[in-house]
A and B are shown apart, each in its own frame.
Chain A
Amino acid sequence: MSGEFAWIAASGKGKVHSFVVYHRAYHPSLADAVPYVVALIELDEGPRMISNIVGCAAGEVRCDMPVEVTFENVSDSVVLPKFQPIGRS
């Protein structure tokens, strides 16, 4: 492993490596969000990251489904990268 690290711009595209569906809100702040999908996204560049799938019903999500990033403004200072099926924007 090299000690040389650099920032690169990712394409924002990837696929769903796996996912789960939360039907219950385990924190009060999630009460309006259920049911929601938490997914492990594999970016086309390689890294995997936890995010949410938005823009489709929970029942439509599949492993290996192609997705692309969409940025959600949670507050004035917080923006979260979420993912939606490609072609749904």
Chain B
Amino acid sequence: MSWNLRGKYAIAGVGQSALGAVPGCTAVGLLCEAIKNALTDAGLQKGDVDGLITRGPDDVYCHHQRIGAALGLNVTFSTTLDNGGASQCLAVGMACMAIEAGLCHTVVCGYGRDSWSRTRSPEARMRVSLIPEPQQAKEFGPEFGFIGAAGMHALGAQRHMHLYGTTREQLGAIATTFRSHAQRNPAAQMREPLTMQQYLNARWIVEPFGLYDCSPVTDGAGAVVVTSAERARDLKRPPAYILAASSANNLKGWFADENMVQTAAKRSGEIAFGQAGVTPADIDTAQLYDCFTYMAMVQLEDYGFCKKGDGGAFAASGVLAMNGALPTNTSGGQLSEGHVEGMLQIVEAVRQVRHEHPADRRVADAQLALVSGHGGNTVCHSSLILGRQT
């Protein structure tokens, strides 16, 4: 597979909405707020946008149309993606392809959700899932009490513990490290201190996952503006050059082969490093899709930051902290900043390669950032490598 788009396109602006509990605002409203912020950040007007790739709650039909209507926007290219948490990095890659194909010039990619509000409204409290009923798996599941995304991902964590001796304390190091990052991020949803003892003493969600292995339900949105590198250089902000945009999908399923302990991140990562012409050792900061602690850990292995099976010890070594060798999820990640399906991981990677954070949140001289997206029943994966230079 060849890729000839390296450095040809860039993210020219990023934005987000308020995060956490944002009552009175719909998922569409939150995303419109994020998009307006991203356009302002880039120094662009709504009329400059001719492409739109979005994703929102699964039960919103033709989501991009709803966003276009709310913003008052006609475009030449738009679609809604359906790869779950892998959709957001994929959207950026698709934006490059659409521009390259001559379908449009400037594409807004965004994701918004109102999950906190939904799960706290009186009628929503009776629901067991945010996935609309027609999309829920029917055969072999609820009749055995197999409910929720936590159970699905926890099966992988248990298998990893069995094969490699991974421990709860090692997963806890991920939760506590990302929380310490969120404490420096005024916008983060979860900013209270989190100790290892609190992590270990928390109630089970689905063993081996306790409360702090799981990302919170969040109201929030994020958006980025993708355009040509040439155009981005003329705009307000330093461009974050898109050096790689890849995906890989283990469509045989989470339960097939050893997919629970070696995810599609491995193949997606190999493609991304090939596209960018760099190695894992060259990456200055990683923004990983951490819906659960285990998913961040297994991706550290799959991307080749450490050997298969060593992810727990690697994470517990302190390497993921702001002063570590691979500062990871520096905004707090989905576990603590808020679960916006990976969109804020892209936003944070851009901010890091732009060197715009205050000193306590800035990765020193960040040149290369890796971003991952993961989802769609935990089989779909997508990757970006963003660079300060082409």
Contacts and interface: CB of A to CB of B under 8 A. Distances in A.
B143 A80 contact: yes
Select the residue from B145, B162, B209, B256 with max chain A CB neighbours within 10 A.
B145
Contacts of B158: 18-20, 63
Contacts of B260: 18
**A-side binding surface: helix, strand, loop or mixed?**
strand
Contacts of A82: 144
Contact of A20 (B141, B142, B151): B151
B156 interface: yes
B128 A26 contact: yes
Interface string A28-39: 001001001010
Contacts of B141: 50
Select the residue from B154, B158, B206, B256 with max chain A CB neighbours within 10 A.
B158
Contacts of A36: 145
Contact of A27 (B128, B140, B154, B163): B128
A24 B214 CA distance: 15
A64 B145 contact: no
B48 interface: no
Given A38-B151, A62-B162, A64-B162, A20 B143 contact: no
Given A18-B155, A27-B128, A50-B140, A40 B145 contact: no
A38 B255 contact: no
Nearest to B254: A40
Interface in B141-165: 141-148, 151, 154-156, 158-159, 162-163
Contacts of A13: none
B304 interface: no
A22 B148 CA distance: 11
B357 to A, nearest CB: 38
A38 B144 CA distance: 7
B335 to A, nearest CB: 19
Contact of A22 (B143, B155, B203, B206): B206
B318 interface: no
B204 interface: yes
Nearest to A30: B145
**Interface size of B as a range:** 20 to 34
Select the residue from A17, A18, A80 with max chain B CB neighbours within 10 A.
A18
Contact of A23 (B148, B162, B207): B207
A23 B204 contact: yes
A34 B151 CA distance: 14
B7 interface: no
B108 to A, nearest CB: 37
B144 A80 contact: yes
A72 to B, nearest CB: 10
A50 B207 CA distance: 16
Contact of B148 (A26, A50, A52, A62): A26
B207 A20 contact: yes
B208 A20 contact: yes
Interface in B230-258: 255-256
Nearest to B204: A23
A30 B162 CA distance: 27
Contacts of A52: 144-145
B262 to A, nearest CB: 14
Contacts of B208: 20-21
Nearest to B253: A48
Contacts of B209: 20
A49 interface: yes
Interface of A: 17-24, 26-27, 30, 33, 36, 38, 40, 48-52, 58, 62-64, 74, 78, 80, 82
Closest 10 CB pairs of A and B: A63-B162, A21-B207, A18-B159, A23-B204, A50-B140, A18-B155, A20-B154, A38-B146, A26-B147, A18-B158
7 contacts: A18-B162, A20-B206, A24-B203, A40-B155, A50-B255, A52-B144, A80-B144
Given A22-B151, A22-B207, A52-B145, 18 more contacts: A18-B158, A20-B155, A22-B145, A24-B203, A24-B205, A27-B128, A33-B145, A38-B146, A38-B151, A40-B155, A48-B255, A49-B140, A51-B140, A51-B144, A52-B144, A58-B207, A63-B159, A78-B143
